[in-house]
């Protein structure tokens, strides 16, 4: 298969994503984000990169958002939200974070493949995205892509859709967001 054909297959997979996401779950996450004092994001590997990009957009929206593990990230406390992006919901480094957040009185949200995963069960709010766990994908059933690529791409696109919904709810446009864009680049 040629590269352009692979791209067409990936786009076809991604076009099916929107139909499988629950609006109720997405709205529950958006409500929790808006109710939270501060939003902390965490993820590992490529999922971690996707949540980092979401934290940036939350900041552009004027929300107080942090990436767990950064040196400038303050301590989490009651009234805050820890948002975890994890395909499996079983990532060993993320489970203790969720436990700690709950023990501090914060809320936990998960965007995952399985609401029945360890992190999904701990979360106050879960959004289930389509895809296959990285160890089972490339079976030809859910995706032609390797490992967790479909989930990671879906995570990125889902977060961009959440940003658009937050812009709508907060009556913000791109220009208002751009005013918060980094200017020391």
Domain CATH code at residue 58: 3.40.50.10490
- Residues 28/126, Cβ–Cβ less than 8 Å: no
Per-residue confidence (pLDDT) for residue 134, from 0 to 100: 58
Sheet strands (E) in 5-164: 39-43, 65-67, 81-86, 107-112, 125-128
Does 46 fall in a domain?
yes
Average pLDDT, the chain: 92
Does 10 fall in a domain?
yes
User: At residue 137, does pLDDT exceed 50?
Assistant: no
The number of folded domains in the chain is 1
Does 185 fall in a domain?
no
In this structure, the strands spanning 39-43 and 81-86 are parallel
Asked which of 8-22, 45-59, 138-152 is least confident by mean pLDDT, the reply is 138-152
Asked which of 38-52, 106-120, 127-141 is least confident by mean pLDDT, the reply is 127-141
Does 183 fall in a domain?
no
Q: Give the phi and the psi of residue 43 in degrees, each rounded to 5.
A: -170, 165
Q: Mean pLDDT throughout 123-127?
A: 97
Range of the domain at 85: 3-178
Known catalytic membership, residue 25: no
Q: What is the pLDDT of residues 11-30, one digit of tens each?
A: 999 988 888 899 999 999 99
Give the C-alpha separation, 127 to 109, whole Å. 8
Q: Which of 25, 152, 168, 185 is catalytic?
A: 152
Give the C-alpha separation, 152 to 78, whole Å. 29
Q: Mean pLDDT throughout 4-12?
A: 93
Give the C-alpha separation, 25 to 38, whole Å. 20
Does 184 fall in a domain?
no
């Amino acid at each position: 298969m040629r590269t352009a054909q692979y791209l067409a297959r990936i786009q076809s997979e991604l076009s099916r994503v929107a139909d499988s996401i629950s609006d109720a779950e997405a709205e529950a996450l958006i409500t929790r984000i808006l109710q939270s004092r501060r939003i902390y994001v965490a993820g590992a590997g490529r999922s971690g990169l996707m949540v980092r990009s979401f934290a940036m957009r939350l900041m552009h929206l004027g929300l107080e958002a942090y990436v767990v593990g950064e040196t400038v990230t303050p301590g989490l406390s009651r009234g805050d939200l820890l948002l975890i992006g994890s395909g499996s919901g079983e990532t060993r480094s993320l489970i203790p974070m969720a436990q700690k957040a709950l023990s501090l009185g914060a809320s936990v949200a998960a965007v995952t493949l399985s609401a029945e995963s360890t992190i999904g069960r701990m979360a106050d709010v879960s959004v289930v995205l389509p895809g296959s766990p990285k160890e089972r994908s490339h079976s030809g059933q859910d995706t032609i892509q390797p490992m967790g690529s479909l989930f990671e791409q879906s995570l990125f696109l889902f977060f961009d859709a959440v940003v658009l919904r937050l812009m709508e709810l907060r009556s913000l446009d791109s220009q208002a967001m751009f005013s918060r864009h980094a200017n020391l680049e």
